[in-house]
Amino acid sequence: MAALLRLALCCVLAIVARATDDPVAVAIGHAKAHPQGDVPASFVAADYRGDLRDLPIGVFDSGVGGLTVLEALKAHDRHDNLTGKEGADGVPDFAGERFVYFGDQANMPYGNYSAVGRTDFLRELILRDVLFLLGRRYAHGRKPPVKAIVIACNTATAYGLEDIRAAVKAWGLPVIVVGVVEAGAQGLAESAGGAQGGVAVLATVGTCASNAYPKALAKVTARPVRQLGSATLAAAIEGDPSVTTPIRDIIRADVGGFLKSAAADGAAPIDTLMLGCTHYPLVADEIAAAFAYWREQSAADGRKPYAALVAKELKQVNPAAWTAEALWRSLQGARMMAVTSSSAGDQFYLSVPNPAWPGVGLAADGSLSYEYKYGRQPNQVGRQDTLNVPMTPEKLPGATANLVREKLPLTWRSLRAAR
């Protein structure tokens, strides 16, 4: 009888999903049809019926950029760990927590999907990331489920935050969900430090197209906001072999074009930069240098056309630190902080192309080809054209590994320990 009921449920959910063709409905139906977590993109429903406090925290991004958020989580010390009161005590606020990190490197950059009309497929990718973190499965073994999900990707937050919250509610899971965009906007409001000029949001093309930051910032400030969307910088930081222009040159060109457009529009002077892509804190110094470079550049007539547009002192807002604070407040408020010390460390995973998947398109270097990556349609949440495998330092491109080692020491140490 139980088998017949389950079969009937699967049929009903499949019909509903086909009727709506909405990525959220498809993902909800897929997971509900497999409560034992026995197929890809599913979880064990029973894992979420007991005490979740000692489960790890899940963090995901389209690649390795989200490691900047993980670093912020591991370094966060804004509260007394015994009392919970405001004030650093020399012990990281999440010292008792474990983390499971996932970077969907095979499908990145997420920021370009909307530009080619694949927003619904992007939403599906984001929900697949969540289902991976909630579940126990990866390509060659098992992992723990998670009690909270940190969307450590601005594009994924912009296009997937509401989807994730709707799905978690439909599944009946008491899982905390935090996104970097809301946290970044709140961080700007709480740390303005007297800055009253324009805000430049530096992000991917996809994040800019969503207008997520202007909407979020409008709720907390009346300051003018202008966006700078880069199509290649995140991929360059990831070590994408298709991007051959040096990172410094990409940033300088992007900033130059942005300032030229802003000057032509009579934009308000800029005194704050919002690092609206999790990759960008890895090159924060280069970004600051590019604005300083253009501020001092002279035109043929000797004028400095951008001197009045760019403040001498630019404040940078990194949403990662504020995401850590938002997570702490959420877990503390829900009384879901870990209560038992665990000897288990953090776990790291990334996606890689699956050459055995029927019809998969691969480039010469083994990555998903551009045509295949951006030609896919949604409503196949259980597809396995990519596989999730443990992330190791050796799996990171050399330049990316160097950035992580130099800029994210806590995360680098944890990643090496997870080998």
Supply the residues annotated as catalytic. 153, 277
Does residue 379 come out as left (phi exceeding 0), alpha (psi in the -120 to 50 range) or beta?
left
Residue spans of beta strands (DSSP E) within 126-208: 137-138, 141-142, 148-151, 176-179, 198-204
* Residue pair 101/94 in contact by the 8 Å Cβ criterion: no
Contacts of residue 215, Cβ cutoff 8 Å, sequence gap at least 6: none
Strands 99-103, 148-151: pairing is unpaired
In DSSP notation, 318-336 reads -HHHHHHHHHHHHHHHTT-
Q: Is the peptide bond preceding residue 353 cis, with omega within 30 degrees of 0?
A: no
Residue/partner pairs of 289-294 with CB below 8 Å, 24 or more apart: 289/248, 290/248, 290/251, 290/252, 290/254, 290/255, 290/256, 291/255, 291/259, 293/252, 293/255, 294/252, 294/255, 294/256, 294/259
* Residue pair 373/112 in contact by the 8 Å Cβ criterion: no
Q: Can you tell me the distance from the alpha carbon of 209 to that of 74, in angstroms, rounded to the nearest whole number?
A: 31
